[in-house]
């Protein structure tokens, strides 16, 4: 499975591609940080992020795009920019027919480091180690994008099994209700 991890942002948007080979094996493919000038108009900044992401989707052909779920921050302006960049990425993936998955920062940290409250340095160190990189990806947005991709590689099989189990459970419940309704009809005069 090839995953494009995206750490969304307007000033810096991290992009990282990882191949998951089953189990915990992951392989580095590419990483980049898209930068847009803070003084540029919002539409231009979003277009800059979007153009780069669109190129990455076409070039790397991911099976899924994993995006960091926007979480509440103290700075509303930062949250809005992050959410807008995230929306552009999700839209471009959907247009390309690529599924999108969202992961919270704590899910990503827990998957990669074993601790949901790990610091950026710990995440960067583990990403470097897990992917066998000669040097740490910089800035942190690059490491975060790779961590998102790794997280999805590891969590996707479990999430798929859970979805299948829920679907089976819903089907069994539907059949049971149908049998009960049929039995009630037989008993009624």
Annotated catalytic residue: which of 141, 144, 171, 186? Answer: 141
Annotated catalytic residue: which of 54, 63, 68, 144? Answer: 68
pLDDT at 160: 64
Write out 60-129 in H/E/C secondary structure: HCCCEEEEECCCCCCCHHHHHHHHHHHHHHHHHHHHCCCCEEEECHHHHHHHHHCCCCCCHHHHHHHHHH
| Domains of the chain, first to last | 2-163 (3.30.420.10)
pTM given for the model: 0.84
Segments of the chain with pLDDT less than 70 = 72-74, 157-163, 189
- Active-site residue, 141 included: yes
Inter-residue contact 157 to 147 (CB < 8 Å): no
Quick one: 31 exposed, middle or buried, by C-beta within 10 A (0-12, 13-18, 19+)? buried
Annotated catalytic residue: which of 7, 39, 160, 186? Answer: 7
> Smallest Cα–Cα separation from 81: which of 45, 50, 115, 110?
45
**Which tokens belong to 23?**
């189990």
pLDDT at 102: 96
**Which tokens belong to 168?**
């089976």
**Which tokens belong to 136?**
């740490």
pLDDT at 155: 83
pLDDT at 21: 83
């Amino acid at each position: 499975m090839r995953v494009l991890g995206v750490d969304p942002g307007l000033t810096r948007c991290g992009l990282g591609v990882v191949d998951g080979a089953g189990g915990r094996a992951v392989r580095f493919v590419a990483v980049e940080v898209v930068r847009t000038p803070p003084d540029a108009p919002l539409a231009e900044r979003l277009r800059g992020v979007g153009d780069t992401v669109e190129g990455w989707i076409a070039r790397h052909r991911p099976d899924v795009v994993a995006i960091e779920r926007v979480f509440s921050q103290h700075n509303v302006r930062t949250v809005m920019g992050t959410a807008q960049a995230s929306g552009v990425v999700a839209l471009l993936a959907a247009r390309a027919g690529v599924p999108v998955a969202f992961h919270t920062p704590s899910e990503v940290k827990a998957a990669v480091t074993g601790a949901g409250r790990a610091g950026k340095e710990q995440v960067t160190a583990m990403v470097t180690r897990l992917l066998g990189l000669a040097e740490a990806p910089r800035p942190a947005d690059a490491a975060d994008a790779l961590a998102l991709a790794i997280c999805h590689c590891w969590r996707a099989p479990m999430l798929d099994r859970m979805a299948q189990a829920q679907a089976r459970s819903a089907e069994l419940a539907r059949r049971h209700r149908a049998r009960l309704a049929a039995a009630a009809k037989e008993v009624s005069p």
